[in-house]
Amino acid sequence: MDSPKQSQICVNGRTVDLRRGSVMDGSGQVLTLRPQAAQVLRLLAAQPGVPVSRDELMEAVWPGIAVTDDSLVQCVKEVRKALGDDRHQLIVTLVKRGYVLEESALHQPESKNADAVAAPAATATPRGDAQAAERSLSIAVLPFANLSADPEQEFFADGLTEDLITELSKVPDLFVIARHSTFAYKAKPMDVRQAAHDLGVRYLVEGSARRAAERVRISAQLIDAVSGNTLWAERFDRTLEDIFAVQDEVTGRIAEALVGRLTKAPLRNRPGNIEAYQLCVRARGLSLQTADAAREACFLLEHAISLDPNYAEAHRWLALNLWFGWAFWNEAREPNRARAMAEARGAVALDPGDAGNRWVLGIILGHEGRWADSDAEFEATFKLDPNHADAWAMRSDLLTMNGRATEAIDHVRQALRLNPHPPGWYYWMLGQAEFVLRDYASAVQTLRRPETYRTTSRRTLAASLAQLGRLEDARQEGQLFMLSNPHFSVQHWADSQPLRDHETRQLFIDGYRKAGLPD
């Protein structure tokens, strides 16, 4: 089958990036399709006006996997929703034959260079729509280079980068790429324009940090990736205790250059001890990975809290790691469950204006079955920081467990747009939602992605294979899962999950049992 002749097309007034599998509407809002749905759209767009058979689509999207027609129907439904094709006039169903993307629906993008980075103001949104232009201001902070002689100071440079991302995410009108995606460029040779294009942003922040004894030198610059011009650059020579003031100043200057006004940093809970801060930075990188990494993170965070009991972020990360331990890695429920709740509440009490504190409390409340309180915390999270990719992805877990898998997929899509090179658990959340939608073939494809394969998500992969009737493969994946999770039981899992929807609960239990996981 031919490939599309360009990476961007316009359909129904929306810009479709075929390479990324994303659709941007007229207001600048971007929706990222699931990989399978994106591939269906690419195949249809490769031959506009030409019917593409169901068999051809299914073989190309799910090669070597036996799938039902429903998997394809769900993908087409998702594409139609993204394109605003409510009346099925853009993608036409040919009964018992396949689908066709109407050639008249396609238009060339206005930009002469379809592969260029989308400009945020005049070119990516309708002319005269000032509010949409502001919303489409997009930026990524690349990892700051460590210029210190001591390689141990790498944590310091990484922490500075992460904190700038967090603070910029709170600035109204900015779209900010998450930390995990920008750190994919760490210590790699890089073309600025290509990095911006890959991340889907127009503006980049680059910088460096040098620490010697109690002095730090920080350099930062803001670059327009379209023109290549430096919009702002400055160097700061300060004492170590001034590091947080420097972060606030850099954030304000970048916001002023892009949005046109200098932001005033709100009051926030800053660590009073620099060693506690560095311990917390190290723990950030260990969180949400493995059971062993979580135990190490807890050790570091407890030390940080002993040095600075009022450090809200340390309490939040401790809560998250304690919760993950009992909810996903079969650690003892008590005292971890009660401690996780106490630490999360403590973090919010110390700093209610931190979006990270709010969503961590929200996910724990959800797992306690306190749905209204959980929803309130997530609403507060997205009001404080609509760019918080981890929060979007994590909430999808609660939505899936409540039988709202379609909404869960929408949340993961938003997370993937904010974090296009995400940690593997994003795909776990996506595959889990696909499983609940009974799109088992798509779940298998998602959960076999290298980012998430061989992690705890393997149990959902085993259940998906089992529901497809591939019992030999399912039991093999189940056995491999048990090698890393020898204490797992279906009953413990069911008791620890916020399974508000009975049908969803039984679907998982049935899949796990078919895959041979122990009761």
**341 and 482 belong to one structural domain:** yes
Both 460 and 506 in one domain: the answer is yes
Are 170 and 34 in a shared domain?
no
pLDDT value at 11 more than 90? no
Domain extent, residue 61, equals 8-107
pLDDT tens-digit profile of 411-455? Answer: 998 898 889 899 999 999 999 999 999 999 999 999 999 999 988
Is 288 part of a structural domain of the chain? Answer: no
> Between 434 and 127, whose confidence is greater?
434
Measured CA to CA, the distance from residue 160 to residue 175 in angstroms comes to: 19
Q: Give the Cα separation of 94 and 24 in Å (integer).
A: 27
Mean pLDDT taken over the chain: 84
pLDDT one-digit tens code per residue, 346-386: 999 999 999 999 999 999 999 888 999 999 999 999 999 99
Please write the tens of the pLDDT for every residue from 263-305.
Answer: 454 556 678 888 999 899 999 988 887 888 889 999 999 999 9
* 247 and 369 together in one domain: no
Distance CA(109)–CA(85), nearest Å, equals 19
Report the CATH number at residue 30. 1.10.10.10
Beta bridge partners of 92: 100
Q: What confidence score (pLDDT) does residue 47 get?
A: 85
Short-list 309, 274, 281, CA closest to 297? 281
pLDDT at 269: 65
86 and 140 co-located in one domain: no
DSSP string, 142-160: PPPEE-SS-GGGHHHHHHH
> Model confidence over 448-485: pLDDT tens digits?
999 999 888 999 999 999 999 999 999 999 999 999 88
Are the beta carbons of 357 and 316 closer than 8 angstroms?
yes
Helix H or strand E encompassing 107? strand 106-107
- Hey, is 115 helix, strand or coil? coil
Identify whether 292 is part of a domain.
no
Domain end point (choices 259, 280, 299) = 259
The span from the CA of 204 to the CA of 230, in Å, is 10
Residue 365 within a domain: yes
The answer to the question of residue 127 being in a domain is no
Q: Given this model, what pLDDT does residue 473 score? A: 95
Phi, psi of 305 (to 5 degrees): -70, -35
- One domain, residues 349 and 210: no
Whether 360 and 436 share a structural domain: yes
Residues 400 and 468 grouped into a single domain: yes
Q: Convert the pLDDT of each residue in 137-183 to its tens digit.
A: 889 999 988 888 777 778 888 888 888 888 888 887 788 999 899 99
Give the β-pairing of 203-212 and 137-141. parallel
Say if 277 falls within a structural domain.
no
Query: Of 240, 259, 278, which marks where a domain is finished?
Result: 259
**Predicted TM-score of the model (pTM):** 0.72
For residue 152, what is the domain's CATH number? 3.40.50.10610
Same domain assignment for residues 87 and 169: no
Residues 6+ apart with CB under 8 A from 485: 329, 330, 456, 459
Work out how many domains the chain is built from and give that number: 3
Higher pLDDT, 250 or 99: 99
Domain shared by 358 and 481, yes or no: yes
For residue 28, is pLDDT > 70?
Answer: no
Do 456 and 365 lie in a common domain? yes
Q: Is residue 93 part of a domain?
A: yes
What is residue 189's predicted lDDT score, i.e. its pLDDT?
79
Answer yes or no: is 171 within a domain: yes
pLDDT-derived band at 259 (thresholds 50, 70, 90) equals low
Report if residue 351 sits inside a domain.
yes
Residues 446 and 506 in one domain: yes
Q: Indicate the residue among 237, 259, 281 that finishes a domain.
A: 259
Q: Give CA separation, 455 vs 291, 331, 429, 462, in Å.
A: 11, 16, 12, 12
304 token code pair: 């940080």
- Number of neighbouring beta carbons within 10 Å of residue 451: 15
